[in-house]
Copies of this chain bind each other. A is one copy, B any other.
Amino acid sequence: MKAVVLLSGGLDSATILAMAMEQGFTCYTLSFNYGQRHAAELNAAKKVADAMKVAVHKTIDLDLTQIGGSALTDKNIAVPQSSSAGIPITYVPARNTIFLSYALAWAEVLGISDIFIGVNAVDYSGYPDCRPEYIAAFENTARLATKAGVEGKPFRIHTPLIQMSKAEIIRKGTELGVDFSLTVSCYQADAQGHACGVCDSCRFRKEGFVNAGIPDPTIYI
């Protein structure tokens, strides 16, 4: 039983990898070098994949800076230090659709039907492509898009974190032995993976450790 797991190097995806392994899946992890500011997360993804002994870890280069339109992919847009109403400027247009498309391609080539993605609709910042209705729509598209789907082998997009709070995710990961000190969540971490402590992603992570009652291993700048 095999699964493709999208691994960003953050806390959430490290936890879904552990959950997929707990369910008995042999895991093929996929990261993207998409021109993000925080390249430290790619090193973190590699470290997590190594530590958790995945079958294959692949990093795909795709240059979303050619598209732009987000604080994460355009150096001219600043990362905000506090939440604002609505969908934040760190939203990367169609990012999860692009990521899931690659996961789908790789899964089909490997003959795999299960894909795990660490989206979260609760604590998260209101990204539209983290909602259950979006995931269901993509699953339907995947079925119709592929040779495997046509041949009656649909794809399942697993989102075990989708309704969990950050504290619940941290408790679950801790229970499964995830080493969160390897992970990087910060939108603007330095080369060593040290976190800014003030961006949305840092604030959710910090609060999560506090609410979980688990010591925060993050090193802040």
**Which residues of A are at the interface with B, using a C-beta cutoff of 8 A?**
58, 60-64, 66-69, 87, 91-98, 101-102, 104-106, 108-109, 128-129, 131, 133-134, 137-138, 140-147, 149-150
Identical copies in the complex: 2
Task: Name the B residues within 8 Å of A96 (CB-CB).
Answer: 145
Choose one: B92, B98, B109, B141; the contact of A69 (CB below 8 Å). B109
Q: Is the CB of B69 within 8 A of A58?
A: no
Partner pick for A145 among B61, B129, B140, B146, CB 8 A cutoff: B129
Whether A146 pairs with B94 at a CB distance below 8 angstroms is yes
28 pairs of residues in contact across A and B, judged by CB atoms under 8 Å? A60-B63, A60-B66, A60-B67, A61-B62, A62-B62, A67-B102, A67-B105, A69-B105, A87-B150, A93-B105, A93-B108, A93-B109, A93-B147, A94-B101, A94-B142, A94-B145, A97-B101, A97-B145, A98-B98, A98-B105, A129-B144, A131-B144, A134-B144, A134-B145, A137-B137, A137-B141, A137-B144, A140-B141
